[in-house]
Chains A and B, each alone.
Chain A
Amino acid sequence: MADESQPVWSQYIFQALKGAAIGQVAYVPDAGHKDLIALCHADTAMRAVSLTTEEEGIALVAGAWLGGVRGVLLMQSSGVGNCINMLSLVEECRFPLLMIVTMRGQWGETNPWQVPMGQTAAAVLATCGVIVQHVETARDLGPSVEAGAQLAFMSNRAVALLIAQRLVGAKKFE
């Protein structure tokens, strides 16, 4: 369906991030977030920061919040495992945190190395005190990002939106 192609649903996320006044976008490059990353880089009101590893982004958006700016952290599910100890910063200081995670290893995965973190990301995040919300359809993306941002920044909570691989699509190795 045309309305479920990445260029279209990435706009839903982007517009919700704009609506939430997100000023810093931290990311590790990811195919599922490719269009969104490009949109954020092109937006003059957003500072998109490419990371060497996902846990850098937890610390970056914490620093942004200290300075009065809202941040978001984009990654794929394999990056969740890199964040575990850094999430102690978020819990101990009650920093708001909004993570948007594209899922691998979940629906039609063809790279078996993606399956371990794909299958454990939600449990790992929940164990670390992050509120996990699943997004299964393109039409839920905008409202989910809007509500997740409100929960994170108005209630000082860590929130991860996990975008289902069924929506993102399985990468083909052919």
Chain B
Amino acid sequence: MVDRRDAVAAILRAREHALIVTGLGSPTWDVAATADSPYNFYLWGAMGAAAMVGLGLALAQPSRRVVVITGDGELLMGLGSLATIGVERPSNLSIVVIDNERYGETGMQPSHTARGVDLAAIGRAAGFPDAATISTAQALDASLPAIYGRIGPVLRVVKVLANQPPLTVPLRDGTHIKNRFRDALLGPKAFE
């Protein structure tokens, strides 16, 4: 098990030009607290959306790596997304699940991953060519070339401690988050 903030920091240190989509709630707080960037799109709601927002973005920007950083509960709500992504097989999309096996925003109730559901196995069965569960900092470091590589889609389930780091409240206005992202990525074309 690794600390979630350490895991997110390790992932973000290696991002270079990657575009990041975060799922509610703790992954959004983790990413914003670690390294805010206009190239981050933060979801504060729409539970289950993160992987599909990542797919739409990855198909729209095939030359950019897109990394979705989300939680186990968030991905479980959009589990069909893994099947859709497995069918589309975008080579530039990675999904990283920060898996604390809990619903952190609602009282730390156990999620299905605490009860035997294996998201990486579901990913493999859905057609992800590279899907694995990792639980050490060394394994995460060893996975970074794949997360930011040229093969995909990649699914990494990172088992993390069920702690709750100090909350740094990031940008919350969705329209601002969207416009900031599009302005950074698309320049003047964002507002034509």
Contacts and interface: CB of A to CB of B under 8 A. Distances in A.
Contacts of B164: none
Contacts of A58: 49
Interface residues of B, number: 39
Contact of A93 (B83, B175, B186): B175
B123 to A, nearest CB: 14
Given A56-B52, A93-B178, A67 B84 contact: no
A96 to B, nearest CB: 10
B185 A67 contact: yes
Interface in A64-79: 64-69, 71
A68 B185 contact: yes
A71 B56 CA distance: 9
Given A67-B61, A95-B178, A61 B45 contact: no
Interface in A11-60: 23-24, 47, 49-53, 55-60
B47 interface: yes
B46 A63 contact: no
A174 interface: no
Contacts of B21: 63
B84 A66 contact: no
A66 B59 contact: no
Interface string B152-183: 00000000000000000000001101100110
B189 interface: yes
13 contacts: A49-B84, A56-B80, A59-B49, A59-B53, A60-B56, A64-B57, A66-B57, A66-B185, A67-B19, A67-B61, A85-B47, A92-B45, A93-B177
Given A62-B53, A67-B58, A85-B46, 7 more contacts: A56-B52, A63-B57, A64-B59, A66-B57, A68-B61, A71-B56, A94-B178
Interface of A: 23-24, 47, 49-53, 55-69, 71, 85-86, 88-89, 92-95
Interface of B: 19, 21, 41, 43-61, 78, 80-81, 83-84, 87-88, 174-175, 177-178, 181-182, 185-186, 189-190
